[in-house]
Structure formats: structure tokens, C-alpha cells
Amino acid sequence: MTTKYTYWMTEPETHQVRETMENLGLPVFEAKKAVCVPLSKKVKLSIVDPAAWSSFDICKRQLSWYGVSAYSGLFLVVSDVALTTYNIDAEPATIITESGFKPDSLPEKDPSVIARLSQHPLFVRKCPEAFNDIDGMDPVQQDRWLKIMGVRGISYKDLFVIHCANHSNFIEPEFYTQTPDGIAPYSIGKTNRSCSACLQFFNIIGKEFKIKYVIPCPGAVLFAGLKVNRYYKVTTPESKNTTPLPEPLYEETVPSL
């Protein structure tokens, strides 16, 4: 994957991007289903419509975080280059690059750690009700999801707990590395135990941290061609914009360490 710049924009701002690209004769990919497709090296510039976060059955439950986030209703723009290259005045939400990061500890197989993280009060409070509703999924649909994602040797319910623990570590980190910019939480499991990494790539979860190290989930490997078990560095640049984001539907809390 080349470097990717991600932006959250209003509809008028997104219209400006489309118009600018049209005037330059450059194509714009419209992501209708899998929101991670724009991370593919084959896609130079992409726009994700707000409706896409709830229109793809494979990821619909997992992406319910978008609907309760500060970005709900906004469009996502993903580009290989900073939009200022096209004279578009916009600040990236994240900059995503490959990294050689390797953690000291990868606790995905420690049941006590997984249980503790998945039940952390801050995670439980922020977690959307729809995300937790795995009982609402038909068992046949659960098996289909596991097969599509190439996940074996674990039940859907047991895997879900690991998914919760991984997201929790980007909300109230227990596993992180120290950087000059503060702590950097990281994915606690390999690709086949991760889910909806786009939530970290696009700052829906973990925007409080300037640096995150994120392993792509099976979907990001399947749909965007990201590398299995490779950590990607997600940088949140210092914003110069003083306009506050809309309030999320859950209570924002500064993580305590």
C-alpha cells in the first residue's frame, strides 16, 4: 500500500473534491460497499458515502460504530496524495503508511487478558448496541462470514470477544508502545483475529492517539489487498482547524493511563 491520506468532509466539501478531480480529468472511485476498498493501491482517490457504512451485510454490524461517532453523516475521502496537491484546502484525519513495527506482547491467546479488555467499562459504555447484537445474526450467516474471511478453528462468539478486546485496546490501551508523541496503542492479535480495522484506520476508534499501529482485518486483506499480519502506522496530524466536530452519541472520555 502506498501512503494514504484520509479526510472527513461535509457534502459540499466532497462536491468540491469531485468537481476538482473532474476538471483535472482524474477518476474518483465511489465506494458503495466495503469501506476499506479505498485503501487499495489500485485506488488513487475515493469517496465513501455515509450510506456505505450500513449497506454491506458482511460488515454492517461491525461498522455501526460509524453511526454513533463524531463523523456520522460525513463523507470519507481517501487519497494517495495530500489534497493540498490539488489546491484543495483540507486537513487529513489520518495518514496511513506501512511500518516495520513489532510488538513486545501479542495477547490474543490469553483468555484472562481478552476477557478484561472486552469488559472494560469505557469500551462497554461506548460500544454501539448494534455491534453487540451477534445473537441477532443467523448462525448460517455467522458461518458464511467466517468462510468468506478465511477464519478457522474458532467459533463466531469466541472470535467476537477478541474483536471487542482489540477495539477496547484503542480506547483504553493496556498494550502500547512509547513514542515521542506519546503512547501508541496497537492491534493485539493477528489478521485472522482482527475485525473492522477501518475503525482505527479512519479514526472512528482511537482518534485520541497521535500514533496507532493497526493490523488489517481479513476484510482489508480481501477487499483492499493489505498485507496479512503487517502493522500499519496510523498518524493523526495536529489539526489547525478550530471548528469542533459534532458531538458523538456516546460520551467522549480522555483515556487514563
Domain span including residue 87: 1-237
Check residue 257 and give its pLDDT: 40
Check residue 253 and give its pLDDT: 45
Structural contact between residues 136 and 68, judged by C-beta atoms closer than 8 angstroms: no
At 186-205, the pLDDT tens digits run 999 999 889 999 999 999 99
- Asked if residue 58 is part of any domain, the answer here is yes
- Asked if residue 205 is part of any domain, the answer here is yes
Average pLDDT over residues 29-44: 94
Phi/psi of residue 222, nearest 5 degrees: -70, -45
Q: Which of 84-98, 146-160, 172-186 has the lowest mean pLDDT?
A: 146-160
Overall domain count for the chain: 1
- Asked if residue 247 is part of any domain, the answer here is no
Residues 6 or more apart in contact with residue 119 via CB below 8 angstroms: none
Structural contact between residues 5 and 79, judged by C-beta atoms closer than 8 angstroms: yes
- The DSSP 8-state label assigned to residue 186 in this structure reads B
Rounded Cα–Cα distance for residues 150 and 147 (Å): 5
What's the whole-number average pLDDT of the chain? 90
Extended beta strands in the chain, E state: 4-9, 29-31, 45-48, 75-79, 94-98, 176-179, 182-185, 211-214, 232-235
pLDDT band at 228 (very low <50, low <70, confident <90, very high): very high
At 243-252, the pLDDT tens digits run 555 556 555 4
Check residue 255 and give its pLDDT: 44
